[in-house]
Amino acid sequence: MRYLHTMVRVKDLDASLHFYTTIFGLKEVRRSENEKGRFTLVFLAADEDLEAARAGGAPCVELTYNWDTEDYTGGRNFGHLAYEVDDIYGFCQKLIDNGVTVNRPPRDGRMAFVRSPDGISIEILQKGEALASAEPWASMQNTGSW
């Protein structure tokens, strides 16, 4: 058995692609449009997984955009996505600078949570050892749910 991808339903494909690619840094690996089924699938991968994802050897995030609008609530979602980054403080600052709320700041230098435009919880983990605790993160409170 091999893990292939995580599917996330999105309501606004452009807003979701802006978040996942421009702000979050994922890269589009492939896309398929199904006119009969009235949906678009976009597969995304992290930089370090890009080559393997293109060869079919690394998991991706699959954004599923149904052309007929539908509101997705927590019942059609799941726990969270998780990504590892080189500098959790710098990455979280980039997200904040782009208008993303860090719901669970990286107070411990190791873990943070944000939400996508569709309310999907995303865990951000520090690659390797946790960074030393630092301000403003150490005293930053949680915002909303994650």
Pick the CATH number of 5-68 from 3.10.180.10, 3.30.70.20, 3.90.1580.10, 3.40.50.960: 3.10.180.10
Amino acid 44: pLDDT: 96
Active site residues: 123
What pLDDT was estimated at residue 146?
77
| Extents of the domains making up the chain | 5-68, 81-139
5-68 and 81-139, same CATH topology: yes
Give the tens place of pLDDT for each residue, 36-74. 999 999 999 999 999 999 998 788 999 989 898 777 666
- Which stretches in the chain have pLDDT values below 70? 1, 72-79
Task: For residue 118, give the nearest of 70, 60, 67, 85 by alpha carbon.
Answer: 70
Q: Is 52 helix (H, G, I), strand (E, B) or coil?
A: helix
**Do 47 and 24 form a contact (C-beta atoms < 8 A)?**
no
- Say which amino acid occupies 124: I
What torsion, rounded to 10 degrees, do the Cα atoms 51, 56, 62, 68 define? Answer: 120
Please provide the CATH number assigned to the domain covering 81-139: 3.10.180.10
26-60: burial string, b at 16+ Cβ within 10 Å, e else: bbebeeeeeeeeeebbbbbbbeebbeebeeeebbb
